[in-house]
Amino acid sequence: MSDSWTCLVTGGAGFIGSNIVDALVEQGHDVRVLDDLSTGYAVQLNPQARLIIGSVEDLNMVRAAVDGCDVVFHQAAHRAVLRSVEHPLATDSANTHGTLTVLDAARNAGVRRVVYASSSSVYGGAEIRPTPESTPLQPKSPYAVSKLAGEHYCRVFTELYGMETFALRYFNVYGPRQRPDSQYAAVIPLFIAALREGRRPTVHGDGKQSRDFTFISDVVAANIAAASAPTEAAGAAYNIAGGDEHSLLDLLEILRRLLGVDLEPEHTEPRAGDVRHTCAEVSAAERVLGWSAQVSFGEGLERTTEWFTSDR
């Protein structure tokens, strides 16, 4: 690829997407964003990016957005496992149909590469940890099924049409701009918000379930790396993760120390569709994409709590 790209970031007004947009703009690329603003926020979008308000489910809208693009970073999705359990049809429409729409429009527009945001949920709580990409996939929620379907579509578009696709299996992304004000919010912003407001954080289950957390700047770097990776590496999926695991109780203890708050959690029933443990084997991304996580869990939590407690 040339040194300067024309890029489309779907879901580019969201948490991950807006951080990718910032990095692309900083590198001098021409950036467009397609977002329906259902969970994204125009106010956090880089002013040098052009916002197109619309859905990835709208073929005509997507066709117009990808016209003339070199690279598409497909981040738009209905994200939460619980949301997909409650609304499986809407999740499938946005994630499976939306991804196919993006791929087909990109193919017809002559886009060279699509970088697709997949998820560790495709493993379904694999017994092998750290979990390599070769592990059998057993998704346990409609969200996970939709993400795996998107991966298959990416692979097929590479094999059938020669369009370069890279699927990145994110493991529990966190960091600045991740919002706590949603019933489907992720655990780290929810814990931080509760502690800052003097409320007991809610822990689903015993809190000993563990996750491989990945700081947002590392996820952004992985997307840039995938956009630049060798053509022969296309059509595959790659784990993007910190490469270690931490229980929710350990996470809560670190956050209590960073925020100077001593509140015990309130335990509730486990959530449907959640897996017990995740931990990624990341050697494929290191070898093929030239990527590895640079931000430790402790440093990432420090940066995240600083962002939540700063004037912004």
Q: Which residues are catalytic?
A: 143
Residue 269, class by beta-carbon neighbours within 10 Å (0-12 exposed, 13-18 middle, 19+ buried)? Answer: exposed
**What is the crossing angle of helices 187-196 and 297-309, to 10°?**
50
User: For residue 222, how far is the Cα from the chain centroid?
Assistant: 11
Burial call 176-212: b when 16+ CB within 10 Å, e when fewer: bbbebeeeeebbbbbbbbbbeeeeebebbeebebbbb
DSSP line for 216-234: HHHHHHHHHHHHHS-GGGT
Say how far apart CA 309 and CA 302 lie, in whole Å.
Answer: 11
Q: What distances in angstroms separate CA 58 from CA 10, 146, 294, one per listed residue? A: 12, 18, 37
Task: Check residue 134 and report its DSSP letter.
Answer: T
Which of 133, 152, 172, 185 lies closest to 275, judged by CA?
Answer: 172
72 is written with which tokens?
């598409």
